Amino acid sequence: MIIKFYGTRGSIPVCEKGFQEFGGNTTCVVVMDDSKIGDVLIFDAGTGIRNLGKELMKRSFKEESKIVIAFSHFHWDHVQGFPFFAPAYDSSKKIDIIALGDELKITDLKSIFTNQMKSTYFPVSLENMGAEFIFHLKKSNEEMFRTGSTGKLLSNAHSHPGGAHGYRLEVNGKVLVYCTDIEHGDTLDQKVIDFAKGADVLIHEAQYTPEELPKYRGWGHSSWGQAIEVAKLAGVKKLYMTHHDPDHNDAFILEEEKKCQAIFKKCYFAREGEEIKI
């Protein structure tokens, strides 16, 4: 599978000089198969989904292929790019929108996007975008993603204001775990460690440094120190840290990355546009 970061920033996009090596767009990660004929799985629809959409419009889709957008939760920085996602305006496209997990607190997934697209906020309604949307609000884990052979997509609830879920994708013996917007608390969440066990790639948020974290208790985020500890305890092969704080510029993140790699060699702060193959 091929994983690519289209948005790596947390909270709000930034466009200033000195913030572009690691990226200014908010959260969006895509997973595709090597042959590029299977489904496209997208995690979250921050502002990074705009550039992803432009690239997908250049791609040939088989009739049975799907675009699947899986949401960790629905805070602004994870949905604000959706109205600018070009395939959503193409009547030939089918887009599955899913929220998956046993502890979901929402009851009507479609209404989240209908409300976001009301005329008060945006000039085009959801009904007039063009694509066929299929909304899946699932209380249990299901096989939702196909890459040549069927992949299994599992979810895990974790602590974040309003609730959030991580995802574990298993395809042909390879494992990707996506875990963003999580606050571990005074001790690491053992469920998250168990969920990430043996992953080839763990994408874990790390908005704060260990020194900053105590100042932001209750904000729903993690430090890079916690992300590394999860990766070590879970036996993860590679760790990519994301959801960069909007006040952390490239120079700052580069220095923090050096500290992290001295502790856990195979860890990196995610860079917008970076592609990983497993």
* pLDDT per residue of the chain (278 residues) written in tens, 0 to 9: 899 999 999 999 999 999 999 999 999 999 987 665 568 999 999 999 999 999 999 887 766 678 999 999 999 999 999 999 999 999 999 999 999 877 777 889 999 999 999 999 999 999 999 999 999 887 666 555 554 556 788 999 999 999 999 999 998 899 999 999 999 999 999 999 999 999 999 999 999 999 999 999 999 999 999 999 999 999 999 999 999 999 999 999 999 999 999 999 999 999 999 999 99
Pairing status of strand 94-100 against strand 28-32: unpaired
Of the candidates 9, 14, 49, the one whose C-alpha atom is nearest the C-alpha of residue 28 is 49
CA distances from 193 to 183, 227, 233, 259 (A): 13, 10, 7, 22
Geometric angle at alpha carbon 156, from 6 and 9, rounded to 5°: 25
DSSP symbol at 121: T
- pLDDT for the residue 91: 94
Structural domains of the chain sorted by starting position, each given as residue range(s) with its CATH number in brackets: 2-277 (3.60.15.10)
**Contacts of residue 201, Cβ cutoff 8 Å, sequence gap at least 6:** 3, 175, 176, 177, 236, 237, 238, 239, 240, 276, 278
**Contacts of residue 127, Cβ cutoff 8 Å, sequence gap at least 6:** none
This prediction has a pTM of 0.95
Residue type at 227 in one-letter notation: A
Strand partners, 152: 170
- pLDDT for the residue 147: 47
To the nearest 10°, the Cα dihedral for 23, 169, 160, 270? -20
Asked whether 199 and 193 are in contact (CB, 8 A), the reply is: no
Which backbone phi and psi does 277 adopt, to 5 degrees?
-120, 125
Name the H helices within the chain: 49-56, 76-79, 109-116, 190-195, 224-234, 250-263
- pLDDT for the residue 112: 95
Pairing status of strand 174-179 against strand 164-171: antiparallel
- Structure token digits, residue 194: 């168990």
- pLDDT for the residue 76: 96
- Residue that is written with structure tokens 């969920």 in the block: 195
